[in-house]
Amino acid sequence: MLNYIWAGLIVSSFVFALGYDIRDISADRYRNGKPLPVSLSFPTGYDSAARRVPIEIWVDSARYAGFYGVSGGSTQHYTGYLLQSREGIQIRFEKGAALPEPLATIAKVSQSRDTEPQGTLVGSVPGPHVTTASAGVVFAPVRFVKLNAIASAALDFAKTGAEIALGLIGVLALFLGLLKIAEDSGIVFALVKLVRPILRPLFPEIPPDHPALGMIALNLTATLFGLGNAATPFGIKAMEELQTLNPSEDTATNSMVMLLAINTASLQLVPPVLLLALMGTQINTLIFPILTTAVLGLIVAIAAARLLGRLPGFRASDPNRAPQA
């Protein structure tokens, strides 16, 4: 199942990215190679010998809309400078200029080494002693924006994935250490006895006195009190305990799926800290609907995990049922 979803995500991103890019190219959305009309003014005057001339750039809304075939917008004003060399005149916008679409996308491709939006000035080169001029700006051609975007998103998030995992090391070490104490001192077994009547029906595969039930209880308690940082190590430890009961190495047991389903439903008595921060005092009125929804979601999760496990396909792949090699 995950194989198909995963491949589906990747393939459909490629198909959609390519589709959007081809649409953009055939509609000439970025007007590659054609000059965008702008007006320039020279606050310190124009000097044809200077390498760098400060300018103000005015982009008229009507001409901009006509040029790119977009609607709305207001006349925009930016500061920047002209960079004059033997190869011609480059026009550079101030770094971080708030450009409207599609110019914002173009600027991501057409930019200087210091990430200033940049284009080539075409048309009449201003004469000496002028204070304003009309000109056109040709930007570097923009092609296959979405294809580029999915590639860079993949690279970015590969990095994010490793960062998240490595960021967990400290917290994981702390709670796995505490859990080892809990195991050695018998807290886990005491907990197992306490929660057995509640959790046993959900996890019939686990032997009655196995520490896995205690770890699951700790995981659920931490989740219940909104302690995500503690819940994750407890959940991982619970999975490790379940794995010791698993006859197969890489196939999930029914208990594992049940633990996962319960965790994805995330029943919390205390709302997530992030939501508290975002919603402020509004959260008070939302506690009740959040709890109701989470409880009902939890029931659906448990029912789904239990019922899907009975389907013939999933029943056949159950490591506890499959013929042992």
Partner 1 sequence: MDTVRDGISLLSYFVLPIILVGFPLYGIIKGVPVYESFVEGARDGFQVAVRIIPYLVAILFAIAMFRASGAMEALTKALDPALSLIGFPAELLPMAIIRSLSGSGSAALVVDMINHYGEDSILVKMAAVMYGSSETTFYVIAVYFGAVGIKKTRHAVPAGLIADAAAMVLAVWTVRLLFG
Are the beta carbons of 84 and 116 closer than 8 angstroms? Answer: no
C-alpha dist (Å) from residue 53 to 48, 117, 253: 9, 16, 70
Nearest approach, Cβ of 162 to partner 1 (angstroms)? 5
**Alpha carbons 102 and 26: distance in angstroms, whole number:** 15
Nearest approach, Cβ of 73 to partner 1 (angstroms)? 19
Phi-psi region at 53: left, alpha or beta (left = phi > 0; alpha = psi -120 to 50): beta
64-80 residues labelled b (16+ CB within 10 A) or e (exposed): beebbeeeeeeebebeb
Nearest approach, Cβ of 41 to partner 1 (angstroms)? 35
Q: Using the minimum distance from each CB to partner 1, give the nearer residue, 130 or 307.
A: 307
Nearest approach, Cβ of 167 to partner 1 (angstroms)? 8
Q: Using the minimum distance from each CB to partner 1, give the nearer residue, 121 or 238.
A: 238
Are the beta carbons of 126 and 133 closer than 8 angstroms? Answer: yes
**Alpha carbons 314 and 325: distance in angstroms, whole number:** 19
Q: Using the minimum distance from each CB to partner 1, give the nearer residue, 289 or 323.
A: 289
Q: Using the minimum distance from each CB to partner 1, give the nearer residue, 65 or 171.
A: 171
Nearest approach, Cβ of 111 to partner 1 (angstroms)? 19
**Alpha carbons 60 and 75: distance in angstroms, whole number:** 5
Q: Using the minimum distance from each CB to partner 1, give the nearer residue, 9 or 194.
A: 9
Nearest approach, Cβ of 23 to partner 1 (angstroms)? 10
Q: Using the minimum distance from each CB to partner 1, give the nearer residue, 207 or 280.
A: 280
Are the beta carbons of 179 and 234 closer than 8 angstroms? Answer: yes
Q: What 3-state class would DSSP assign to 258? A: helix
User: Which amino acid type is present at position 216?
Assistant: I
Are the beta carbons of 76 and 59 closer than 8 angstroms? Answer: yes
DSSP for residue 282: G
Nearest approach, Cβ of 275 to partner 1 (angstroms)? 5
User: Which amino acid type is present at position 227?
Assistant: L
Q: Using the minimum distance from each CB to partner 1, give the nearer residue, 118 or 232.
A: 232
Q: Using the minimum distance from each CB to partner 1, give the nearer residue, 130 or 286.
A: 286
Terminal Cα distance for the chain, rounded? 24
Find the angle CA(313)-CA(319)-CA(320) to the nearest 5 degrees: 110
Is the peptide bond prior to 204 cis by the omega test (within 30 degrees of 0)? no
Nearest approach, Cβ of 210 to partner 1 (angstroms)? 15
Cross-strand pairs, 207: none
